[in-house]
Structure 1
């Protein structure tokens, strides 16, 4: 199982709306994420807009590709794009660059 962590930056003036949107994620989006192999997916938001995402999946590239192929993801990403800083023309899900894991307590040494 791959453990994936990524960072994005939510615009300061849209933090509250971002929280509200994620308190009511579309049911079809939740179903698509599960079907695409996204497990234990969490988002953490700091008051300055730093967003930390974490998920577990068998194959992150395959899980991303499976989501990219869905209509609901296309609509969700277009709807959410305005919330983020520095996407450089990419959709939010395309800007998710996994961080390198350097320590995991339960990993065999």
Structure 2
């Protein structure tokens, strides 16, 4: 059964429009990689008071999300995004896993 997960990332102050522009022009090859990794229904929301990004996505039972970091295009995307959001030493975005507390199905 597919699983919905959620996580939080941190946008640098003043980078809202740049973040939106970059995602409006997301590379088709990156979209293909995400989808072929078993990811769907991926949505990112912004809390403008805190610059926190809240993301949810659905991943298939046979997802390969753990291998995304090995993909060259993922590394390029993370490097490009690293100047506008908090990033780890490997350029991946700092992510905080969120715990589901309630769901109305």
TM-score, normalising length: structure 1: 0.82
* Number of aligned residue pairs: 103
CA distance in 2, matches of 1:2, 1:91: 26
Pairwise CA RMSD: 2.0
- Structure 1 unmatched ranges of 5 or more: none
Larger relative helix fraction? 1
Q: Deviation at 1:69?
A: 2.1
Q: Distance in 1 between matches of 2:18 and 2:60?
A: 32
Aligned counterparts, 1:1-109, within 5 A: 1-48=2-49, 49-59=51-61, 63-85=64-86, 87-93=87-93, 95-106=94-105
Secondary structure, aligned partner of 1:82: coil
CA offset at residue 103 of structure 1? Answer: 1.0
Shift of 1:59: 5.0
Q: Does the aligned pair in 1 maintain the 2:75–2:92 contact within 8 Å?
A: no
What is the distance in 2 between the residues matched to 1:19 and 1:38?
20
Gaps of 5+ in 2: none
Q: Which has the higher strand share?
A: 2
Alpha carbons 2:5, 2:56 under 8 Å: kept? yes
Question: Normalization by structure 2: what TM-score?
Answer: 0.84
Where 1:30 maps in the other structure, the secondary structure is helix
Give the Cα separation in 1 of the matches to 2:41 and 2:76. 23
TM-aligned CA deviation for residue 96 of structure 1: 2.3
SS in 1 for 2:82: helix
Cα distance in structure 2, aligned partners of 1:98 and 1:44: 15
